[in-house]
Amino acid sequence: MEESTDGEPLNERARRADKIVRNPAKYKICAGCESIVAGKVALCPNCHAYRFIVDADRVVAQAQALGQREARSVLAADLD
C-alpha cells in the first residue's frame, strides 16, 4: 500500500474521492485552496476562505484528481 506524505494511504484518499463522486451535491470546492469541503460549511477549515465552487461537474473532476495523488496541502496542524 502506498502512503502519501501526510501518512494517509492513497487508497483511503481514493475511497473518499469515490464517496464525493457518487454524491457531489453534498460537497463544494474551496476557491482559496481547492480543497473539497462539506456543502454546509461557511469557512474552509484549511485556509478559512469563504468563497466556494458548487458546480457538481467541477466537484467530481476535483475529487477524481485529488483521489489519484498524494496530499499536498499544508494544514494548521503542520505549523505547530
Q: What is the pLDDT of residue 40?
A: 96
d(CA 24, CA 62): 10
Residue of higher predicted confidence among 30 and 73? 30
Band the pLDDT of 1: cuts 50, 70, 90: very low
User: Quick check: 12 and 61 in contact, CB under 8 A?
Assistant: no
E strand or H helix at 36: strand 36-38
Average pLDDT, the chain: 85
User: Quick check: 42 and 54 in contact, CB under 8 A?
Assistant: no
Residue of higher predicted confidence among 9 and 28? 28
What angle, rounded to 10 degrees, do the helices at 56-67 and 10-22 form?
Answer: 170
**What integer is the mean pLDDT of 17-29?**
95
